Amino acid sequence: MADSIRLYFRYFGVSVRGQMQYRASFLMTSFGTFMITGIEFLAIWALFARFGSLRGWTLPEVALFYGLIHVPFGLSECFARGFDLFPGLLKRGEFDRVLVRPRSTFLQILGADVRLGQLGRFLQGLVVLLWAATALNVTWTLPRMALVLGCVTGGICLFCGLRVIEATIAFWSTESLELMNCLTYGGVETAQQPLTIYRPWFRRLFTFIVPLACINYFPAHAILGRPDALGTPAALHWVSPIVGFLFLLLTIEVWRFGVRYYTSTGS
């Protein structure tokens, strides 16, 4: 296990060094990503300026939801990019090379690419989160801060898992299914607002199927010290980020299934 982590960091170094050669592009991409993702929050701010509140939620509270989703998503966009590139890899016939090496396919694909340029999204999410932390009427106890960390970690696992599923689909269809895009980016779009504004079936989608609620909506209630208007127990709010991790484990099994399919039908 430690060996695999070492290997991942070797891959990491390789990717970063490869990208550092194009320094101007890297800076421009980071800035660009910061702007394009930051502008989403600007839009939310503009709407709050016009409407004043969102069904009882204030801007700092919405900022908390926003930050708790974009920070892990941004980090996963940096570190799990290997899976985004997988369909291209598969099309070029380079997956055979991966299979010929004595390592898990998951690890090799994960390490295939690290996009530090995506740190832009993480940074703007972090900025919003920090602003929310100061603007909210919340005492930042150690458990609360640990919960935030848990949300970020669980969130990274969850988004990684979504990417793994999206990549696994490439084994069957040459064009990656936009449905996954929809659940990932659409999910982020959804979860950056409090779930109470959505219809019940929508809420259930993002609680049970793609459990984004577990990494920002429920924990936010623990942080804000509020009871959930939807009636979930307070204890749940503290442990829900673990669902993200379990989700990742599930997707790894799906990946393995995909690899078995590939090896039995050939390229």
Which residues contact another protein by CB under 8 A?
3, 6-7, 10-11, 14, 17-18, 21-22, 24-29, 31-33, 35-36, 39-40, 42-43, 46-47, 49-56, 92-94, 96-97, 99-104, 108, 173-179, 181-182, 186, 189-190, 193, 197-199, 202, 260, 263-266
**Is the Cβ of residue 89 or residue 133 nearer to another protein in the bound state?**
89
**Is the Cβ of residue 67 or residue 87 nearer to another protein in the bound state?**
87
- Alpha-carbon distances of 101 from 2, 86, 89, 108, 168, rounded to whole Å: 18, 16, 15, 9, 19
Q: How many helices (H) and strands (E) does the chain have?
A: 14, 0
CB of 82 to another protein, least distance (A): 13
- Between CA 184 and CA 163 the distance in angstroms is 8
**Is the Cβ of residue 25 or residue 141 nearer to another protein in the bound state?**
25
List residues bridging with 54 in a β-sheet.
Answer: 57
CB of 140 to another protein, least distance (A): 28
**Is the Cβ of residue 70 or residue 144 nearer to another protein in the bound state?**
70
CB of 175 to another protein, least distance (A): 4
CB of 94 to another protein, least distance (A): 7
**Is the Cβ of residue 178 or residue 253 nearer to another protein in the bound state?**
178
CB of 34 to another protein, least distance (A): 9
CB of 139 to another protein, least distance (A): 27
**Is the Cβ of residue 19 or residue 153 nearer to another protein in the bound state?**
19
- Between CA 43 and CA 45 the distance in angstroms is 5
Report the candidate in 15, 21, 11 with the shortest Cα–Cα distance to residue 115. Answer: 15
Instruction: Read off the tokens for 163.
Output: 């990417």
Contacts 24+ apart (CB under 8 A), 123-127: 123/30, 123/34, 123/74, 124/34, 124/37, 124/38, 124/41, 124/70, 124/74, 125/37, 125/66, 125/67, 125/69, 125/70, 125/71, 125/73, 125/74, 126/67, 126/71, 127/38
